[in-house]
Amino acid sequence: MEVKQKYERWINHPNIEPVLKAELEKMDDDQINDAFYTNIEFGTAGMRGILGAGTNRINIHTIRKANLGFAQYIESNGEEACKRGVAISYDNRHMSKEFAMDCAKLLAAHNITSYVFESLRPTPELSFALRHLNCFGGIMMTASHNPKEYNGYKLYDDKGCQLIPSLADQVISRVNSIEDELAIEAKPTAEQEKLIHIIGEEIDEEYYKAVLGIQIEKEMDKSDIKIVFSPQHGTSYIPVTTIFDRAGYNCIAVEEQCTFDPDFSNTPSPNPEDPGAYKLSLEYAEREDADVILTCDPDADRMGVGVKHNGEYIVLTGNQSGAILIEYLFSRMTANNLMPPNPVMFNTVVTSDLGEKIASKYGVVTEKTLTGFKFIGEKIAKYEITNEKQYVFGYEESYGSLVKPFVRDKDAPQACLMLAEAVSYYKKLGKTLVDVLNDLYEEFGYYVETQTSLTLYGEEGSIRLKEILSGLRENRLTEINGVKVIKWEDYGTLEYSDNDEIKPLEGFTQSEVLKYFLEDGAWIAVRPSGTEPKCKTYFCVMGSSMEDAQNKADGYIAAMNKIVA
């Protein structure tokens, strides 16, 4: 169907939400094209996009279409799946609560039980809740760290893990077969309404208990450190401050960012990867002479860190905070005889090599997955059945980690508690976390891990992104900034090069990722973002000193900016 036909169908449909119709009436031709040139799709973190009218937007009609596909998928798994039902949570964003309740009503109309949180809760607690309640699946309304204009719809399986491709495909095929999203209604009968259950404090308490149980040095005195904490207007405020209080930490909340504000009025960015996210926290930290700054994204699955070192605050990358957590966690587990037999750690194909080197020192094997914590969750579930290996940690370069797998997604409250414990432990040894990181560099080499991104909006951007990836495949890079490419991995074609011979790349599902390994030990990866209209380039560069590593990285970045443009 052509864009104009889609637009006319929407604006003239009797079921169109009035506020969306009013928006449609104000659109110019370019806005109409952007809103209707495609249907919004599932990415690495479910369905996420800009709020508004159109098939390429997040709105009540596109949410219902996705949710009807999910309901049909649950029905196809039988009466027991419908009875076990779905846990539903939501963040502070515009329309999150309304979408969540509409999802529950649509499910009820299909005789599917739901358990909806009474108010906003973090993504990791949603994963915990559905496991605790033995649900068949879960729904989280969130756009995670994206700007205020966004919202999204995440789906979870019965293990508390985001739907892996084989399961997501079953939902997507049903969604794609729905021809008229505007005709879908969420109108359960009075009897069906009884299938909607409201949950809250009883789940909170079980989740808090589980998070507090991850502590290794539980009896250690924590009164000697100060933590400045910001929830970025999101869901982490109550759980993180509650957990810190019960664990005995001195936590100073950034009050202006503790309101559940969908416009994120008091933060330049809710994304811990953005320096603007730390602006107000830095002011608090300097005033309070805090040891560490911790901040979570709005749905509390990611944790950002700023550390006071030599009188200034240094914001760590996700790779750096991940490396420090690995060193602290594994060293203390080893010292306390807590390391299980056959331990395994998971990270992704775009995560730094440093973490793997640290893990190896403690006898921990590292397995890599594609980007998206659902793939780590899938591996956890696999070894839970086979008992071949024992999970000890999982993390991504984008500030997400999981200490204990009673949750099957990134869990910022867990990360905050374990990071705070590390700060307190090392302070007693006269060290900051930056000292710990520098010790790791001395031991394993100096690493610069960074990324660049090219923003590509709308239909033209989508076409350009495909051109970039196809161009890289048609003309395989043999050198970057004068350094020879000795190996490449293509997760889109599931192939890799080995001494000029192309071989199958096994153990992964298809994903648009290209990774190049260079003669000097560096690697560079290119992939489209699964959550934003961006083409991302990742760099992992090692040098004999930090200056050497940074100089190499600067050269690679300049070279790739010309290639990926």
Q: Mind telling me the catalytic residues?
A: 144
Please check whether residue 328 is in contact with residue 418, taking contact to mean a CB–CB distance below 8 angstroms: yes
Q: Quickly list H helices, 429-517.
A: 433-444, 458-474
The continuous run of DSSP H or E covering 552 comes out as: helix 546-563
Q: Collapsing DSSP states into helix, strand and coil, what is residue 299?
A: coil
Give CA–CA dist 243/234, Å, rounded. Answer: 16
SS (H, E, C) 294-329: EEECCCCCEEEEEEEECCEEEEECHHHHHHHHHHHH
Please check whether residue 212 is in contact with residue 246, taking contact to mean a CB–CB distance below 8 angstroms: yes
Neighbours of 285 (CB within 10 A): 23
Give CA–CA dist 34/458, Å, rounded. Answer: 6
Give CA–CA dist 514/498, Å, rounded. Answer: 15
Bridge-based pairing state of the strands 137-141 and 150-156: antiparallel
Give CA–CA dist 59/46, Å, rounded. Answer: 15
Give CA–CA dist 525/488, Å, rounded. Answer: 9
The one-letter amino acid at 419: L
Nearest Cα neighbor of 515 from 534, 537, 542, 530 is: 537
Q: For residue 278, what are its two tokens?
A: 């730390």
Query: What residues contact residue 54 under an 8 Å CB cut-off, 6+ apart?
Result: 6, 7, 10, 24, 32, 34, 35, 36
